[in-house]
Amino acid sequence: MMKISLTLNGKPVTVDVEPRTSLADLLRSPGCGCTSIHLGCEHGVCGACTILIDGRIARSCIALAVACDGAEVTTLEGLGEDELTTQLKDAFHCNHGLQCGFCTPGMLISAREVVARNPQLSEEELRTAMSGNICRCTGYTGIVAAVSAVAASRASSCTSES
Amino acid sequence: MAQSNLALSAQPGAQAYADAGDDAARFGPRGIGARLLRNEDARFLAGHGEYLADLNLYGTMEVAFFRSPIAHGRIRSIEIPEEVRSRVFLLSDLGDVRPVRAVLNAPGFRGSDFPPLADGVVRFVGEPIAMCIAPTRAEAEDIAQQIFVDFEELPVVTDMLKAADGSAPSIHDGWPDNVCFVSTPGNGDMAQAERAAVVTIERDLHMHRQCVVSLEGRGVLAHHDRRLDELVVYSSTQQPHIIRTVLAPLIGVEENKLRVVAPDVGGGFGVKNNLQAEEIAIAALARIVDHPVRWIEDRREHLTASPQAREHHYRMKLHADAQGRILGLESEVIVDAGAYSIWPWSCAMEANMSAGIMPGPYRMDAYRGRGITVMSNKPPLGPYRGVGRPGACFALERMMDELARAVGREPHEVRIDNMVLPGQMPFLTIAGKLYDSGDFPESVRRAAEMVDVPGVRAQQKDNGKDGLYIGLGWASYTEQTAHGTNEWLSRNLTEVFGYEAATARFTPDGKLILEVAIQNHGQGLETTLAQVAATELGVDPADVVVRHGDTAVSPYGLGTFASRSMVMAGGAVGRAAQMLAEKVKRIGAHFLQTTADKVTLEDGAVVHGPRRVPLSEVARAAFRHAQDLPPGEEPGLSVTTTFQPESGTGAFSYATHAVVVCVDANTGLVKILDYVIVHDCGTIVNPMIVDGQIQGGLAQGIGNALLEESPYDETGQPLASTFLDYLLPGFTEVPSARISHIVSPSPFTRYGIKGMGEGGAIGAPAAIVNAVNDALHGLGVEINETPVTPRRILKAIERAAKGDRP
């Protein structure tokens, strides 16, 4: 067991973990309770476990908890007040961007980073940027429409500000 | 565009539904037909979906299965270190547990037992042998690694053609070979068709084995509830009531002492639509330990040990006249059903369904089908979106394109000429299916317009430039949905899933709860069932609570599969709500000093002219102040009822897919340039959700056509066990289809609704492979298998260049 400290959704957390424990398993455990993290493959392909580590998207299933000692970790639970996440949630709702909901938290977090990085991306660029997340239900149409809508609204506000 | 194709009105009111004006006028502004956003979205968007792995029961021990590393062998001995022996459970440790025996009530069907844990013999890699329990999955896997099994290896069967011709050793004791069942649907004079034929097309085709891949794997959690003295089994399942019924006797529990709960389910698509060996094992274990136990399927288990799909081999022969008019069709489908028969469908479901639906939307005078189910040392085959039909559609629609080529006509024109006509509905097919309504040729005509056939043909003049080849592919199909009592009986199934049940009840504050036996895992039923209730009761659907997936909260029903829930549960909710509405109207009319026939239900109130009584007042009287009820009226506001369609033969949706692809002959990559779907599912309950289902099905069809394959080597070892070697369609592989609707309400169902969950997946493999063939035909290439991977395309081009025909 190793003792690590991290900031989880803005709150300090200190826990004992086995060196082999993944960050996803730690965060999903009852002590942390972040069950928005979903495990779809546990080998870093499907993106359902996507979270933010030090502000950048990462796959919590292939991150070792001990490697995140001192990190600032944010899950969907910690983005309740985040304006961009709220816009994306509304857009997913309005564009039927989810069906069973299992991929949704990871999709939202990836989409947040994609839109924040470059709101003026084309549909093809958006699809490529989002391609690290798999959805088995929607066929992506609703997700693309949702992320595009939020990107467009931000792009236009960028333009009007400049 | 609304369109009435009704040739008969089997159900009173069906004609009215079909002939009335727009949906808002017929069903209310927020009822059936409205594009409402989903009630269930909020919890998923908040990350509050509660899936099986999220349940948090005190003291839960996690289970790791020790699974067979070999495909076929007799267990000589199992060594378990003494220090972990108490945490390892073999079949013999579970007390009285019976194997599943999934059979058809059909002469000639060979039955076999599927034990929850190996009973001396293993028959596929991944078959469960032992359960190991520990506080965490990692520790449970540590225990599993200490188990040593000594096997006597037995001959392995992986080649379905050898299994079918009897040259492989039998894998089940007492069977002479590996053929489980042969069905022979058909009718008509084939000799006559052969004599009259000017053109006969013959092909062998193959759809390889694949996995289902719900993004959430399967999972089971079970514990004994001491207060109620009942066993509670949480399972990521599509059919909790049915699971309870069959599970109870297998583990020696009375059905009224067993509760099965499906929490939020992260995708099903059929793989959670079976009784699972793991369900039996975990439930049996929970009877003998004093804490909850849980198993969560990991991805490797899902790809190698859960029920798999497809793996069909077709031998097709199509007889036609010089214009391409079909005279007769001979079709043999061999299906590799894996090692065991899955309950309740039996291992023969795929082959039987494929052979039964084979004639598709076409008229023909003779059909001779053979559906052959064989066993092998691979995981058992189970239902997956489309069941049998993606293979049948692929085989027949490939033949239709080859037929068109042989007679020198455009493929879509040959299809139109052969289709059942709207004036012929209801139409009994040569394979005995009763098509209820629709305009099949119109779906092709409209798709041809949308995809611009002359435009694509003009583009193809540049084929070959830079090694790029454009092709246009077609597929038309019928999708049998909401199969009723007659259909299940005709399939000789031991269970008959011909109805669904619902309770509609108000709470004393005038709010509505619907309790249904289906399970909602992405289909939007928490919204669409509320829309049905809104149609009948004038309530706000956003305000309706839909409870499902739990044997303790609803009347008995059959579950969500076979595109049945909207028709069946929708029908049951509609009936229950209508009956409830009558009582609400009587009470409201009493308050308004008029009669029930003079009032309407609108916006949460009983309305009579300018006066209205809110439902909260009606509910208050019904539940709390019976003195305010009309004389003779019983207290309470709750109705439980069932629904079964007028005809038990199903409601048939249909569609035509047209796809334009570009094949890069340098790399073998296929890019989809345009995808058009003209679709008819009768009355549309929620257009947003319907289009979402079509597009989602299409994505899976694209996987089937281009990417997904679960190959096995000759020793029965799976060659795809991660998402790096089992490829799923992603954002960049799945274009957004252009979807157009025809609306031909079913005369057999309430509101004219047809099921529609699977069609997207049925048409895509055929349409895409046809498009690839259309693109590469000039090179002498013909490919008749799925998935058409870059490797297969390059190999076919290379072979054609050498002058070899496939």
Rounded average pLDDT over B157-182? 93
Residues of B in contact with A46 (CB under 8 A): 215, 723
pLDDT for res B2? 37
Min distance A162 CA to chain B CA atoms (Å): 32
The torsion angles phi and psi of A86, rounded to 5 degrees, stand at: -65, -40
Fold type of domain B499-643: Aldehyde Oxidoreductase; domain 4 (3.30.365)
In which element (H, E) is residue A13 found?
strand A11-17
Asked if the Cβ–Cβ distance from B37 to A142 is below 8 Å, we say: no
Under 8 Å between Cβ of B709 and B789: yes
In this predicted structure, the answer to whether residue B17 has a pLDDT above a threshold of 60 is no
Among candidates B660, B650, B475, which has minimal Cα distance to B567? B650
For B310-319, b where at least 16 C-beta lie within 10 A, e where not — what string?
Answer: bbbbbebbbb
The overall average pLDDT reported for chain A is 96
Alpha helices in B39-189, H assignment, sequence order? 41-45, 137-144, 160-165
For residue A87, the chain B residue with the least C-alpha distance is B45
Under 8 Å between Cβ of B398 and B331: no
B424 CB-side CA count, 13 A? 15
Rg of chain B in Å (alpha carbons): 27
For B379-391, b where at least 16 C-beta lie within 10 A, e where not — what string?
Answer: bbbbbbbbbbbbb
Rg of chain A in Å (alpha carbons): 16
CA distance B721 to B729: 16
Asked if the Cβ–Cβ distance from A101 to B522 is below 8 Å, we say: yes
CA distance B65 to B75: 16
The overall average pLDDT reported for chain B is 95
pLDDT for res B3? 37
In this predicted structure, the answer to whether residue B21 has a pLDDT above a threshold of 70 is no
Q: Which two tokens stand for residue B317?
A: 């022969």
pLDDT for res B285? 98
Three-point CA angle B534, B536, B542, nearest 5°: 10
Q: Which of A98, A137, A148 should one mutate to test binding to chain B, selecting the residue with the greatest count of B CBs within 10 A?
A: A137
CA distance B477 to B655: 6
Evaluated on CA atoms B145, B147, B152, B156, the torsion sign reads negative
Among candidates B371, B314, B309, B370, which has minimal Cα distance to B342? B309
For residue A94, the chain B residue with the least C-alpha distance is B37
Beta bridge mates, B308 = B381
- Smallest Cβ–Cβ distance between B696 and the set A36, A101, A139 belongs to A139
CA distance B289 to B157: 38
Confidence of residue B806 (pLDDT cuts 50, 70, 90): low
Residues of B in contact with A103 (CB under 8 A): 215
Q: Which CATH class is domain B213-305?
A: alpha beta
The torsion angles phi and psi of B614, rounded to 5 degrees, stand at: -65, 155
Rounded average pLDDT over B43-48? 98
Residues of B in contact with A96 (CB under 8 A): 37-38, 688-689, 691-692
Confidence of residue B238 (pLDDT cuts 50, 70, 90): very high
CA distance B679 to B694: 9
Asked if the Cβ–Cβ distance from A80 to B46 is below 8 Å, we say: yes
Q: What is the 3-state secondary structure (H, E, C) of B491-528?
A: CCECCCCCCEEEEEEECCCCCEEEEECCCCCCCCHHHH
Rounded average pLDDT over B439-451? 98
Q: Which two tokens stand for residue B724?
A: 């790096």
% of chain B at pLDDT higher than 70: 97
* Complex-level ipTM: 0.97
**Cβ of A70: how many Cβ atoms within 10 Å?**
10
Min distance A51 CA to chain B CA atoms (Å): 12
CA distance B624 to B725: 62
* CATH no., domain B309-486+647-801: 3.30.365.10
For chain A, the 3-state helix, strand and coil shares in percent, each to the nearest 5, are: 40, 15, 40
- Smallest Cβ–Cβ distance between B216 and the set A35, A40, A89 belongs to A40
In this predicted structure, the answer to whether residue B1 has a pLDDT above a threshold of 80 is no
Domain residue spans of chain B: 213-305, 309-486+647-801, 499-643
- Give the three-class secondary structure for B375: coil
Residue B378 burial (CB < 10 Å; 0-12/13-18/19+)? buried
- Smallest Cβ–Cβ distance between B724 and the set A18, A36, A45 belongs to A45
- Residues lower than pLDDT 70 in chain A: 158-162
Q: Indicate if B309-486+647-801 has the same CATH topology as B213-305.
A: yes
Asked if the Cβ–Cβ distance from B299 to A41 is below 8 Å, we say: yes
Q: Which two tokens stand for residue B609?
A: 């002219």
Query: How confident is the model over A142-153, as pLDDT tens digits?
Result: 999 999 999 999
Distance between the two ends of chain A, CA-based, in angstroms? Answer: 52
In this predicted structure, the answer to whether residue B9 has a pLDDT above a threshold of 50 is no
